[in-house]
Amino acid sequence: MDFMYMLEILPEFLSLLHITVFIIIISAVLGLFFSVFVTIVRVKKIFILSRLMEMYISFARSVPIVLQLFLVYYAIPFLLSFIGINISDISAITATVVALTFYNAGYMSEVLRPAYLAVDRGQHEAADSLGYSPFKKLVRIIIPQVIPIALPGWGNAIVYLIHDTSLIFTIGVMDMMGYANTLISTTYGSNQIEIYLTIALIFWAICLTTDFIVRLLEKRMKRYGLNTFGS
């Protein structure tokens, strides 16, 4: 094991880390917003839309992420071309964000829905009896109770999202894994153990940081308590 070689290539991988972090953050944020929409549609049982969302979640959770990347980057532009929509010049990073957002939202909706349903029905009734508007009830009563329940699941979703970024090189994104494959090819497979171990340590550090942030948020939630009628 050549540890000096690992230290030598570490700065090269870290110089590409911002691409991975950017994709993780954007996909997580967009996925969260879309998952809220999906959750609302499912909870309210909006006609037809709720059935479509159920099908979407089933597809997003069943199809491997690498296939979803291929579908967004290759299949969707091809299919849209038949109806006169040309997105053949879509960038690999854009396709990656779309695919990961689609996948992450499907997973997150399965976290948010039970968290929403876990809020005591009396909280809803108390807010209605006080004349709260649906938006005010959501912001002041429901969300402060849903967040602590959903936070651990959201943390797991982010970790899965981090893992999934290790596959984005398959559609041409030159991230750490893409550079690793290029480096292994140009060096004819020498030091490939050191190369993959270096990347593994970087991903480990990212996941540890994510876990630390989620745990910190959980502690803050417990410290300040929940904004409910019963507290």
Tell me: pLDDT of 231 over 50.
no
Task: Indicate the pLDDT class of residue 229, thresholds 50, 70 and 90.
Answer: very low
CB atoms within 10 A of CB 148: 16
Q: What is the pLDDT of residues 147-185, one digit of tens each?
A: 888 888 989 999 999 999 999 999 988 889 988 988 888
Q: 46 φ, ψ to 5°?
A: -65, 130
The structural domains of the chain, ordered by start, are 3-224 (1.10.3720.10)
The pTM assigned to this predicted structure is 0.85
**Residues 6 or more apart in contact with residue 6 via CB below 8 angstroms:** 194, 197, 198
> How far apart are alpha carbons 141 and 130 in whole angstroms?
12
